[in-house]
Structure 1
């Protein structure tokens, strides 16, 4: 009798479904195998260990965000649009958003680094931001990250219900405020 072969993509899909529903707290080989109706053996044949599976999954999600979610145009201002897309993702995929960007067991640090690289590359194509120093680019990223994460969290909790236009204005205000700073590196350096 022939054994059924499970592909890396099938395992990733099941792992994605697990974190989308339950976050990384339920991210175990047993739960993924259960989702697929198999033993854990095929998982360990395709991935070195659970960290390898987690890293591959987070990279897959990051690629999807980069290609299909973050580039959507709403206003024509790339920073504002990126913020709106991040917030929309958080609203439409609440559990996945929390698992990836908030949960301490998730991809938080990886996602922040990914976000910064994506932001830096995006900014380099914007004529209005092309001459900014690395300090201003980092400050813009961190300042807008703080703004959109706050908005996404408050909206997910049902505390605030701003319109897309109001969100765009808040993001633009954050950008304008950061660009007016004389020494943004002093505020956004991570030291108190």
Structure 2
């Protein structure tokens, strides 16, 4: 009898907890290609995805280098995809022309892409945010991951990236801690 009571309580608790977890629900996905801004122009972060009942995959964000398995054909986007949670998740992409490292020869210019992920509460106040350049080519890869240190900032259209006060998640030099690049977050859907 004691066994059946424990089994009943365990089953009831499992059902109760599973009913409380809502499924991740993507409510918007962009199909439009992001156009690169010109050299030295301000970046524009274009809305790519909105997902409800979501969160960040902190295990991947906190150890980016371990999450990258094949450096030469790396597709880093899965690291920035949402997992099940209780927040609203936004993903933005910025495409821009920048100067790539070229130790020999003339300057090399190419198209780069920054991913920005933002987590908000029900009133659209930013809880957490990360920014990363997808083409970052030098280990440690964690070095180019920035985390927002701002608090109580509402996510609105045309929000300046500087208001999020991004700081490196990994750094060996304190004088190179903040994200210096600017940009604008476009929240409107296309």
* TM above 0.5: no
Q: Which has the higher helix share?
A: 1
What band does the TM-score fall into relative to the shorter chain? under 0.3
**Which has the greater radius of gyration?**
2
Q: Which has the higher strand share?
A: 2
